[in-house]
Amino acid sequence: MGESYKNILVAVDGSDQAEKAFEEAIKIAKRNNAALHVLYVIEEMGNYFGELTMSMGTMMEELRAREEEEMKKRKAHAVESGLTEVFTYVMYGYPKTLIADFSESEEAIDLIVIGRTGLNGFQRMMVGSTTSYVVNHTKANVLVVNKEV
């Protein structure tokens, strides 16, 4: 392998494909002695229906708390696998753009590892997959994990 990666981003969403991508990213980070950045994006949804707005906010905060706990488990797993630099992020926004334009790390991301498909099949059908968007809009190399579920 001619390319050496220093900062690897893996996007997770709880799907089987994303978990396979996470495991692959750990292996690549270990081989390259690279930092691993694990990102979960909570998609923000505009909601202007009075009381529903408050309940959506509560649900979003509960989801964030749950995902923060999941990220702690992912980080522990990556460290147990031999990585020393593991960073986790739970962000609100639009997954496609946040993954493609990830700028939370101090150094630029060299490689994005992403599953072929994720959880949101309807959106993929209507506007194209997150993976496709990332491949076509990021400056980093992208590895699409295509393992069967």
Task: Give me the DSSP letters along 4-72.
Answer: --SEEEEEE-SSHHHHHHHHHHHHHHHHHT-EEEEEEEEE-----STHHHHHHHHHHHHHHHHHHHHHH
SS3 76: helix
- State pTM to two decimals: 0.84
**Residue 79 contacts by C-beta under 8 Å, 6 or more apart in sequence?**
86
Name the fold adopted by 7-145.
Answer: Rossmann fold (3.40.50)
pLDDT in tens, 116-126: 865 555 444 44
pLDDT in tens, 40-78: 999 876 544 544 444 566 788 888 899 999 999 999 999
What does the domain layout of the chain look like in residue ranges? Answer: 7-145
